[in-house]
Structure 1
Amino acid sequence: MELTKSITSAIMQKGLKKDEVKTVSYYSYYSNELDQKTSKMKKYFLTLHCMSVNLSNFDKIGEITEASVSGGASVNHIHFYLSLQKQRELKNKLFEAATKDAREKANAIAAGLNLKVKKVINASEDFSQEQCYPTNPIGAMQNMASSVSKQEGSVNYMPQNTSMSVHVKVVFGVK
C-alpha cells in the first residue's frame, strides 16, 4: 500500500486529477522460492497493483511516466488512443464518405446497364482502428529509465499516426 501511495502522490504532484488515475487490477497471490544460502523454502505473498493513467495532453506523458517510475512504479505499456468523441466524429465522416462513394458507384454501374438506382435494400458496416504506439516502446522505456536514474529530464513520447477504416456494403434496388 505504501508503494501505491508513493506512486499516486508522485503523479498527482504533476497536476493529475484523481479521476485520471484508476486501478485496472489488483492481484495478491502466494508464492515461494528456494533460498540459495539456507536451502529453505521462503514463503511470501506477492501483490501486483496495475494502474491506468489517462491523459489528453501528450506533452505531459514523459513527465508523468518519470514521476511514476521515481515513485516506484514499473511501466508496462504506453498506449495512445483517440478520444471517444474524436473517434465518433471521424467514424461518422468516414461512413458518410463511404456510403456516398457506394451510391456513386451503384449509379455508374446502373447507368452502364441502362438502369436507375431506386432505393437501398440493405446496408451493413464494419469499422476498425489501428492503435498507435511509440516507435520503439521498449527502447523508449529503457531511455526513460536511464534518464530518470541520471535525472536528465523528461523523455518525450509521441504517438505515430493512427489509421481508421470503415467498410460499407449497400444493396441497392434498381429499375
Structure 2
Amino acid sequence: MSAGGAGPTLVLVVIVGVLVGCGVSLLLERSLTRILLGVILLGNGVNLLILLGGRPGIAPVVGTGAVEEMSDAVPQAMVLTSIVITFGLTAFLLAVGYRSWYLTGDDEVPDDIEDRQIIRRAERDEVTTEDLGGEGADADPEQVDPEPARRRLRRGEGVE
C-alpha cells in the first residue's frame, strides 16, 4: 500500500480556479500595476495546479523504501523554475511600470498610432480603396494598410 494522502480536494481546485481566473482578468486591464498583479496571481495559480497534479508520494529519502515509493521530483523542479520565471517577469514589469510612471505620470498602456488611426477610420467609416491598397470593394476593410498614414506622419501632416 502506498503512503500518501488523497488527491486534490474541491477547496484546492476552487482556489486554483479563482487564482487563475482573477489573474487572467487582471492581465486584460490597461494598467501595468494590474497586469503585474495578474501575472503574480496567474503564476501562483499555475504553480498550485502543478503541485496538485498527481498523487503525493513519500519523501525521496534513499534507503527507506522501494524505488517505486519515492516521490517524483519533476513537479517540484517545474514549480521552482516557474517561480524563477515569474519573479523575472515581475521584476521586468516593475521596471517598465516605474519607467512609465516616471515619464508620463501614469502606468496605463497607450494605444499605437496605427491602432488609433484604424479606430478613427472605423468610427467615421471612411475606408477608401487607396487605404486598402487599391484592391477595390472586394478587399477586407479590417486589413487597412498603415503605410499611407506612416508616410503622412513622416511628411509632418500629423494624424487625422
**Both proteins in one fold, TM over 0.5:** no
Higher helix proportion (structure 1 or 2): 2
Q: Greater relative contact order (Cα 8 A, min sep 6): structure 1 or 2? A: 1
TM-score bracket for the superposition, by shorter chain length: under 0.3
